Structure 1
Amino acid sequence: MNGPSLLLARLRSRRHGPPKPADDDGFNRRLLAPMVLGSVLNPINSSMIAVALVPVGTAFGAPPAETAWLVTALYLATAVGQPVIGRLVDTFGPRRLYLAGTAVVGLAGLVGALAPSFGLLIAARVLLGIGTSAAYPAAMHLTRSEAERTGRSDPSGVLTVLAVANQSIAVVGPTLGGLLIGIGGWRTMFAVNVPLSLACLALGAARLPVTAPRRGSGERFDHAGIALFAVLLLTSMLFVMKPSAALWYLPVLALLAGVGFAVRETRARSPFIDLRALARNRPLIATYLRQVLGYTASYAFLYGYTQWLEEARGLSAASAGLVLLPLSLTALAVSGATGRSPAVRGKLLVGAVVQMAACAALLLAGSASPLVLLVAVGVSAGVPQGLIGLGNQTALYHQADPAAIASAAGLLRTFMYLGAMAASAANAAFFPRGATTGGLHRLALFMLGGSALLLLLTLPDRSLGRTGTAAVERS
């Protein structure tokens, strides 16, 4: 190498730093640890609480209708926060939002661990919902950025790692929650967020790249659209969770906010959610609908079955968590075995069919059912857990506008938690005075109907057959 060339190489090295460690796809491996650890904070907090509802209710004298707010508070905060923070990630870069969000998670863990009242415990769950909303959009933004840097249009390996981590943590959460409760009581489920937050902050500060905000970022942010979206979502979900004639004003407010949001987003120069572009992207709309249906059944199973195991079957929180452990192992095995394949349609079809079978199997459960049957039911539910989320995430990656991938990913999480809130409302409706076997069977029929709709939405969608595979051909 001659002198000028050597000098140029040194200057480039100083500007861009040392070569980035990469895997077979060229992806910077140093990014994986903060991406995965940060993105699992939300599913682990949303699933651990399943085995804590009974002991928390006992500690504060709160009935099931009140302890359900521990679930819905996080979901409401997350459903609003994910697309909002996703838009901030698209505008200001992933590092700032990742660090701020994971710091809020640590604060929420402290508040929950020390909370002297049930109201403050709900406030801690709201903080957890907001704080955990940053890492997943940041991870999807980083995945897209790395794909563009390396010229790889289908980073299926990275998407699989994210999906496997999130799906597995979501279903291992009850097991971990049960173990933590057995060790130090239900407050340990909040306290564990402090070391997790510190680990995320250390990894994020050391490894996430510093990026400059987009030009004109202050002018581009749609504050009015975000406010209307938040009102629409909160009022509609509050009514769905507890429909009552006395709350007639909630759907009225939701309707007004929805109309205002539609008008605003179709006229804004830089809308929070580009409704015109979304209307033209029918495959992405279908993906969002499949996300709602899939996770309504998944979360209804997670919360309803766990509560039934404790109250009707008489298992302890730790034992109920162990019964559900094979579910998480099955989800992990299925996601790992199918993740490298970019095909989407097959995953969603198989996931929908097996989810229907798992819901039907709940009809066989009774207070005297042997543990072998109870474990087998959980195993059957693990298959769709490992397929549906992975399929929808891969579909969104290829269907969304690359410039808005973080906000699109955040909206995917919003629809996921819309399903979770629908599941929470269903559990409250079918378990009005506790988790009985009759209530579990009625919940199973409800879940079975949603799974059937998921299958009907997937079968005729031929665009899924081209999602992912077309990207592989281009790369």
Structure 2
Amino acid sequence: MTADTAEQTRPTASGKPFGPRFVSPLLLGSTLNPINSSMIATGLVGIGLDFHKGPGTTASLISVLYLCSAVAQPTMGKLAAVFGARRVFLSGVAILLVAGVVGAAAPAFGFLLVSRALIGIGTSAAYPTAMALVRERADELGTGVPSRVLGNFSIASQVTIVVGLPLGGLLAGAWGWRAIFLVNVPLALVTLVFTLIGVAPDKPLARERHESLFRTVDVPGIALFAGTIVSLLLFLSDLASPTWWLAPVTAVLGAALMAWERRTASPLVDVRMLGRNQRLLRTYVRQALVSLGTYTALYGTSQWMEESAHYSAGQVGLILLPLSGVSVVVARLVSGRGWVRWPLILTGISMVLTGAVMLFITHTSPVVVLLGMSMLFGFANGFSGFANQAALYVQSPASEIAVASGLYRTFAYFGAIFSSSLIAIAFGDAATDAGFHAVSYVITAIGVLVLLMTILDPRIPARAER
């Protein structure tokens, strides 16, 4: 694309700065990670049968994507700051395309692990770079905080998490588990084409020596960050029977990461900035808590409904549909008005109420009660999705929005992976009513924490404004 074409792609302030041509490929790209996270679940049984692997081995296809994504999200943000957000976005989509081919044609189980790792890395480029591109355009045109665009990102993420399971089931049922990998090829191609058409090229890169580039990218920081995150997530993933030696390993790697990032000129994680910007740090913690509550409720409730209340997987999906529907409506309402503080307060209240309702539910409760519980938690999900994302946007320095957005997703992965341990501890060998009520206490406690963190933090803005 020529410089003249690039100028044509950039809208004027009087035009539509965030029209479908610009936003659509960014939204599509940002959904590819959550949809791949959930879609694989429906193909695990078929994969195990074809490659003669047990459930424990096939489950590694889920964890490898989480681990790679948790490390890659901020790393891709750093690369975007160095090489340009559009270049990194397109590179990630290209990696996804290759990953889809590798997975669909896999002759052995190891190729599937490679494919899932590449999917995690490739799709991790989308969200931090999309946020950087949105921020760059908003600052360039002086439009202020694009609340409706941020709301669209929140809605897209919420919808794809829920849609992933039935979509994976449809693909696996019609064409086998390989279709779950192959579907990434057309998705990647569509995203590539629309990005090339709708998103203006990055500015030309300045020539740097290899030694300078090594320091600018912060390769040692990325390596220490990867080691810290992987060891921490592996420890959190199985607290029912902890691997205790991972705790000191995580502590040592974390200390080394902090020490290195404090003294390097171009850190991956700017710990000095985070030390000064406590409100951004609190947003990360809130996001981890909300993610922990969301995944604990979603997966804990699903498991309990199947094992104890004896609903089929399809029926469970239908019961959880109000969660998604309410989330979308609430997120649209909140983002249209740019509210931040009150939605976070209502997130805590909704989680407390959901936990309280769960405490009185048993396996004999009528389905209408379960639908009400699902709808109630949809309020918590809808209120939090936009509000935390808008807080991140307002609180992050413009030059670091890509890395900050990647870290935001990493903290969400902490909650997602920690939730599996909490569910295992609560349920033990079987998902009973007693275990379900233990989960309700966890969700109530998380709601109280989110509520207190919001009420006691005067620096959370009422609205998304800069």
TM-score, reference length from structure 2 = 0.89
Secondary structure of the residue aligned to 1:256 is helix
Answering whether residue 310 of structure 2 is matched by residue 343 of structure 1, we say no
Query: Is 34-43 or 88-97 further displaced after alignment?
Result: 88-97
- After superposition, the C-alpha distances for 1:195-244 in whole angstroms (9 at most, x for unaligned) are 21221122223322221236757241111111111111111211121248
Q: In the alignment, what sits opposite 1:249?
A: 245
| One-letter amino acid of the counterpart of residue 172, structure 1 | V
Structure 1 vs Structure 2 CA RMSD: 2.8
- After superposition, the C-alpha distances for 1:38-75 in whole angstroms (9 at most, x for unaligned) are 00111212233456667767775634x65553433222
Q: 8 Å contact 1:176–1:321 — kept in the other structure?
A: no
Q: In the alignment, what sits opposite 1:104?
A: 95
Note closer, same or farther for the CA distance 1:72–1:18 as it changes in structure 2 (3 Å cut). closer
Q: In the alignment, what sits opposite 2:195?
A: 204
- After superposition, the C-alpha distances for 1:179-202 in whole angstroms (9 at most, x for unaligned) are 445544555433332221221122
Query: Is 427-436 or 263-272 further displaced after alignment?
Result: 427-436
Answering whether residue 388 of structure 2 is matched by residue 392 of structure 1, we say yes
Q: 8 Å contact 1:40–1:169 — kept in the other structure?
A: yes
Note closer, same or farther for the CA distance 1:187–1:446 as it changes in structure 2 (3 Å cut). farther
Note closer, same or farther for the CA distance 1:177–1:13 as it changes in structure 2 (3 Å cut). closer
- After superposition, the C-alpha distances for 1:355-393 in whole angstroms (9 at most, x for unaligned) are 222233333343333222222221111111112121111
Q: In the alignment, what sits opposite 2:75?
A: 84
How many positions carry a matched residue from both structures?
A: 459
Q: Shift in Å at residue 258 of structure 1?
A: 1.1
Q: In the alignment, what sits opposite 1:450?
A: 446
Query: Is 66-75 or 31-40 further displaced after alignment?
Result: 66-75
| 2:153 aligns with one of 162, 177, 198 | 162
Note closer, same or farther for the CA distance 1:21–1:257 as it changes in structure 2 (3 Å cut). same
Q: In the alignment, what sits opposite 1:93?
A: 84
Note closer, same or farther for the CA distance 1:388–1:14 as it changes in structure 2 (3 Å cut). closer
| One-letter amino acid of the counterpart of residue 239, structure 1 | F
Q: In the alignment, what sits opposite 2:305?
A: 309
- After superposition, the C-alpha distances for 1:229-278 in whole angstroms (9 at most, x for unaligned) are 11111112111212488833312211111111111111111111111111
Q: In the alignment, what sits opposite 1:72?
A: 63
Note closer, same or farther for the CA distance 1:256–1:231 as it changes in structure 2 (3 Å cut). same
Q: 8 Å contact 1:84–1:407 — kept in the other structure?
A: yes
Q: Shift in Å at residue 409 of structure 1?
A: 0.4
User: What is the alpha-carbon distance in structure 2 between the residues aligned to residue 466 and residue 214 of structure 1?
Assistant: 40
TM-score, reference length from structure 1 = 0.88
User: What is the alpha-carbon distance in structure 1 between the residues aligned to residue 362 and residue 192 of structure 2?
Assistant: 46
User: What is the alpha-carbon distance in structure 2 between the residues aligned to residue 117 and residue 440 of structure 1?
Assistant: 38
Q: Shift in Å at residue 298 of structure 1?
A: 0.5
Q: In the alignment, what sits opposite 2:224?
A: 228
User: What is the alpha-carbon distance in structure 1 between the residues aligned to residue 363 and residue 176 of structure 2?
Assistant: 26
User: What is the alpha-carbon distance in structure 2 between the residues aligned to residue 426 and residue 222 of structure 1?
Assistant: 35
| One-letter amino acid of the counterpart of residue 390, structure 1 | F
Answering whether residue 22 of structure 2 is matched by residue 31 of structure 1, we say yes
User: What is the alpha-carbon distance in structure 2 between the residues aligned to residue 424 and residue 23 of structure 1?
Assistant: 49
User: What is the alpha-carbon distance in structure 2 between the residues aligned to residue 361 and residue 117 of structure 1?
Assistant: 46
Q: In the alignment, what sits opposite 1:138?
A: 129
Q: 1:6-85 residue pairs with structure 2 within 5 A?
A: 16-17=7-8, 20=11, 26-49=17-40, 62-63=54-55, 68-85=59-76
Query: Is 316-325 or 280-289 further displaced after alignment?
Result: 316-325
Q: 8 Å contact 2:350–2:447 — kept in the other structure?
A: no
| One-letter amino acid of the counterpart of residue 372, structure 1 | V
User: What is the alpha-carbon distance in structure 1 between the residues aligned to residue 297 and residue 43 of structure 2?
Assistant: 16
Q: In the alignment, what sits opposite 1:352?
A: 348
Q: In the alignment, what sits opposite 2:288?
A: 292
5+ residue gaps, structure 1, are 1-11
User: What is the alpha-carbon distance in structure 2 between the residues aligned to residue 374 and residue 15 of structure 1?
Assistant: 52
| One-letter amino acid of the counterpart of residue 313, structure 1 | A
User: What is the alpha-carbon distance in structure 2 between the residues aligned to residue 18 and residue 66 of structure 1?
Assistant: 47
User: What is the alpha-carbon distance in structure 1 between the residues aligned to residue 43 and residue 15 of structure 2?
Assistant: 42
Q: Shift in Å at residue 315 of structure 1?
A: 3.0
Q: 8 Å contact 1:71–1:424 — kept in the other structure?
A: no
User: What is the alpha-carbon distance in structure 2 between the residues aligned to residue 23 and residue 188 of structure 1?
Assistant: 44
Q: In the alignment, what sits opposite 2:271?
A: 275
Note closer, same or farther for the CA distance 1:281–1:14 as it changes in structure 2 (3 Å cut). closer
Indicate the percent of aligned positions where both proteins have the same amino acid.
Answer: 40
Q: 8 Å contact 1:94–1:138 — kept in the other structure?
A: yes
Q: 8 Å contact 2:305–2:316 — kept in the other structure?
A: yes
Secondary structure of the residue aligned to 1:279 is helix
- After superposition, the C-alpha distances for 1:91-124 in whole angstroms (9 at most, x for unaligned) are 1112221122122223333444455666554443
Note closer, same or farther for the CA distance 1:187–1:376 as it changes in structure 2 (3 Å cut). farther
Q: Shift in Å at residue 143 of structure 1?
A: 0.6
Q: 8 Å contact 2:12–2:141 — kept in the other structure?
A: no
Q: Shift in Å at residue 332 of structure 1?
A: 0.7
| One-letter amino acid of the counterpart of residue 309, structure 1 | M
User: What is the alpha-carbon distance in structure 2 between the residues aligned to residue 136 and residue 312 of structure 1?
Assistant: 37
Secondary structure of the residue aligned to 1:209 is coil
Note closer, same or farther for the CA distance 1:120–1:320 as it changes in structure 2 (3 Å cut). farther
Note closer, same or farther for the CA distance 1:412–1:190 as it changes in structure 2 (3 Å cut). same
Query: Is 459-468 or 297-306 further displaced after alignment?
Result: 459-468
- After superposition, the C-alpha distances for 1:434-467 in whole angstroms (9 at most, x for unaligned) are 4333332222222222222111111111111355
Q: In the alignment, what sits opposite 1:7?
A: none
